[in-house]
Amino acid sequence: MSKSVPALPQDEVSGSMTSICSGDFGNLEVKGSIQFAVEYVNSMKELHVFVAQCENLAAADVRKQRSDTYVKIYLLPDKGKMGKKKTVVVKKTLNPVFNEILRYKIEKQMLKTRKLNLSVWHRDTFKRNSFLGEVELDLETWDWDNKQNKVLKWYPLKQKTAPVALEAENRGEMKLALQYVPQPIPGKNLPTAGEVHIWVKECLDLPLLRGSHLNSFVKCTILPDTSKKSRQRTRAIGKTTNPVFNHTMVYDGFRPEDMMEACVELTVWDHYKLTNQFLGGLRIGSGTGKSYGIEVDWMDSTSKEADFWEKMVNSPNTWIEATLPLRMLLIAKISK
């Protein structure tokens, strides 16, 4: 087993959060259409998406009847940075012309498990995004040999009806154990606060976002502390959807009154080249929605997660085990 030990400082509480899925869907009407074509280039082993133009888009600037538009594409279910491609922003028009080819390096057989998602966005001067519509193609049934599928076609833009990738799907499970070691007996030359021990044993049935490839690891943060020294992580385990980590993390500085205010955030990631793709997570705490009297978004434990935390607090010096389903999380912003 591997082990690491930072402290839990008594800092001010922050409720600052950031979403795995960025974008402001705004209140703009979805209208108009987009013209594009898709082709798989066998010699290059690349998927090419030729984004030509849009027409009759909704106006973000109603007075001047114009939008500053760009197109973003994903090969779902991959919502990571490596899977995102986008055009330049074309300003001050409801009929933007892009004429860009966006490329994916991917094996042809892997496209059978993908959906091509094209979404159109307005970006304002403060770099805020407003959703203007989307089109989604299921590549599982796409006929790559049909020449008609390689020519430019117009597609009507639609409202976003589906949740973000994997949000409603199975994200797998984590098998882990927690132990609370409370404040020692007064008078002895020992630390004055208790510890929480976190034993990440393994994950089960993790989703595959890159075909058959997976290189997963687990991050841990004890909220409300979002400093870098609060973060710990396991090593990365490759080539399996059921990685065994057997990694123990120890956090000290827990006073008895902290146990209702702190929260263990565990997130699972797929490491690929220079990026990490979020797979799922847990947030184990009291689930009261508050920390030290302040309302915070991250104190949102499910009933199973809150029960697990309560059992640990009520059973000091004892390992409490559980297997919990991973879920979508809003991730706390990390401070320096």
SS3 letters for 295-320?
A: ECCCCCCCHHHHHHHHHHHCCCCCCE
Write out pLDDT tens, residues 309-323.
999 999 999 999 999
Write out pLDDT tens, residues 211-229.
667 899 999 999 988 787 7
**In this structure, are residues 38 and 149 in contact, taking their beta carbons and an 8 Å threshold?**
yes
Q: What pLDDT does 109 receive?
A: 83
Pair of tokens at residue 240? 């399996």
Number of C-beta neighbours around residue 245 at 10 A: 24
CA pair distance 86, 100, nearest whole angstrom: 9
- Coil, helix or strand for 174? strand
- CA atoms within a 13 Å half-sphere pointing along the CA-CB vector of 13: 16
Which parts of 186-315 are beta strand (E)?
A: 194-204, 215-223, 232-233, 237-238, 244-254, 263-272, 275-285, 290-291, 294-295
Pair of tokens at residue 308? 């697990």
Task: State which H helix or E strand residue 179 sits in.
Answer: strand 173-181
- CA atoms within a 13 Å half-sphere pointing along the CA-CB vector of 237: 19
Nearest to 85 by CA among 69, 100, 67, 107: 100
Beta bridge partners of 153: 36
pLDDT along the chain (336 residues), means of 10: 46 36 54 93 91 92 88 78 82 94 88 87 78 89 86 90 48 94 66 86 86 86 84 92 94 89 93 83 92 88 93 94 88 49
Contacts of 193 (CB under 8 A, 6+ apart): 183, 252, 253, 254, 255
- Coil, helix or strand for 151? coil
Q: What pLDDT does 175 receive?
A: 96
In order of their start, the domains of the chain are 33-156 (2.60.40.150), 172-326 (2.60.40.150)
CA pair distance 91, 87, nearest whole angstrom: 12
CA pair distance 9, 127, nearest whole angstrom: 35
Q: What pLDDT does 198 receive?
A: 95
Q: What pLDDT does 191 receive?
A: 54
Nearest to 92 by CA among 69, 120, 119: 69
Beta bridge partners of 283: 265
**In this structure, are residues 133 and 231 in contact, taking their beta carbons and an 8 Å threshold?**
no
Q: What pLDDT does 80 receive?
A: 57
Pair of tokens at residue 188? 């002895």
Torsion, Cα of 20, 24, 332, 200 (10° steps): -20
Q: What is the phi/psi pair of residue 135, to 5°?
A: -135, 140
Q: What pLDDT does 140 receive?
A: 85
